Structure 1
Amino acid sequence: MLKAYMAPGIPEHERLLVRQLKRGQPRAFEQLVRLHQDRIYGLCLRMMGNQQEAEDLTQEVFLTIFKHIDRFRGESSLSTWIYRITRNHCLNRLKFLRRRAQHRRQQLDGIYQADASGQRRHRPVAGEVPRPDTLAEGRQLQTIVEEKMGELSDDHRELVILRDIELLSYEQIQAITGLPAGTVKSRLHRARLELARLLAPYLEEESDRS
């Protein structure tokens, strides 16, 4: 019987785990969860910015792995393949949430237009957002960074997470995203510049206080 091909450099313990997973061994799946659940959850949380969404997506990712482990061809490491699945789940969920939010906005617009007075009775959202100076008070810089990362585009945010937080190599990021090396580097550069711009007021404030 021919063994399934796996890329050179994949450690033997990972090869063994993959073989056990493909045989449907329950303990292998339990081991997979122990090894990867924290990183999967962390990636989902940073991409989604919501704990409940991250928990739900983490479960969906493991369900996908369980159902489709036979599709793992060993062309990359198992962790890279799992990152790719996690990324796709997050991006699909973000698209769904945006479509739903747009639909709700359209419904609200219809309600406002149907108001006989012609005046909106709700305060504008912008009026509910605190000023940057009050927002920064009492918050740790890490919290502000996470908040501002949520303002990046999905494409930019995922690269900052994969490279600067998860500390993945450019080769791993290419395998996960399917992007050419040049695109990864140029897009990451723009993402870092944008994040620096968003953080500039808070960093200046921290500097003034120190």
Structure 2
Amino acid sequence: MQESELIAELKAGRASAFRMLVERHQDKVYNLALAIVQHPEESEDIAQEVFIEVYQTIQNFREEAKLTTWLYRITTTKALAHHRKRKAQKRFSVLTSLFGLNNEVLHDPPDFHHPGVSLEQQEEMRTLFKAIDQLADTQKVAFILHYIDEQSHREIAEVMQVSVSAVESLLHRAKQNLRKLLGPYYKERNNP
């Protein structure tokens, strides 16, 4: 089924079209959310929220961009909002733990495991994703969409609603910042 037909079927409220949409895009939506929030369970929740929003708001989709662009835009918005909320809760929990009986941190982040990463690469990927997590949100989204989801600069510009030159600038700054953040790790690794 072509995208235009799928959109028409979705707008007509066909359950089979919605099922097809989910089947086609659930992995991409989940993986994008996972790359941003770095927690599998939360990524599953975000993916569900994305598809619920699409189902509830498909009538508002004006077809000025591709359906996948719209999905990515919703996913990045929801994932970043969720990530910011979790960071704020973590900061608060660290502060409240200062006054606790045992001074323990209430919300330690779990180890990050991405489904497409082999075991021998887990340490490097954990380090990389910790560094990516420290980037500004716009740099993080551009970097993830380009280097992990393999989106073109034009596709990223559509998702982020910025110019192609802005995407190029974000990617350049993200790479510079990652070099700074990862420099000590690779220096230590190469000089044991």
- TM class, shorter-length: 0.7 to 0.9
2:103 maps to what in 1?
122
Residue identity in the other structure for 2:136: S
1:83 maps to what in 2?
72
After TM superposition, the score normalised by the length of structure 2 is: 0.81
Instruction: Tell me, in whole angstroms, the C-alpha distance in 2 between the residues paired with 1:38 and 1:32.
Output: 11
Q: How far does residue 166 in structure 1 lie from its aligned partner after superposition? A: 1.1
What are structure 2's unaligned runs of at least 5 residues?
Answer: 106-119
1:104 and 2:87 are equivalent in the alignment? no
Say which one has the larger Rg.
Answer: 1
1:178 maps to what in 2?
161
CA, structure 1 residues 205+138, in 2 after alignment: closer, same or farther (shift >3 Å)?
Answer: farther
Q: How far does residue 198 in structure 1 lie from its aligned partner after superposition? A: 2.0
1:46 maps to what in 2?
35
Which of 156, 159, 182 is 1:199 aligned to? 182
After TM superposition, the score normalised by the length of structure 1 is: 0.75
Instruction: Tell me, in whole angstroms, the C-alpha distance in 2 between the residues paired with 1:150 and 1:164.
Output: 14
User: Could you tell which deviates more after superposition, 143-152 or 71-80?
Assistant: 143-152
Query: Equivalences for 1:30-45 in 2 at 5 Å?
Result: 30-45=19-34
What are structure 1's unaligned runs of at least 5 residues?
Answer: 1-11, 116-120, 125-136
Which of 19, 37, 44 is 1:55 aligned to? 44
Instruction: Tell me, in whole angstroms, the C-alpha distance in 2 between the residues paired with 1:139 and 1:172.
Output: 29
Identity %: 30
Instruction: Tell me, in whole angstroms, the C-alpha distance in 1 between the residues paired with 2:53 and 2:177.
Output: 33
Contact persistence 2:29–2:47 (CA under 8 A):
yes
Q: How far does residue 176 in structure 1 lie from its aligned partner after superposition? A: 1.1
Instruction: Tell me, in whole angstroms, the C-alpha distance in 1 between the residues paired with 2:94 and 2:191.
Output: 40
User: Could you tell which deviates more after superposition, 97-106 or 17-26?
Assistant: 97-106
2:111 maps to what in 1?
none
Residue identity in the other structure for 1:53: E
Contact persistence 2:65–2:158 (CA under 8 A):
yes
1:8 maps to what in 2?
none
1:27 maps to what in 2?
16
Instruction: Tell me, in whole angstroms, the C-alpha distance in 1 between the residues paired with 2:188 and 2:95.
Output: 38
Residue identity in the other structure for 2:185: Y
Query: Helix, strand or coil for the counterpart of 2:134?
Result: coil
Residue identity in the other structure for 1:188: L
Which of 11, 14, 20 is 2:3 aligned to? 14
Give the root-mean-square deviation of aligned CA atoms: 2.7
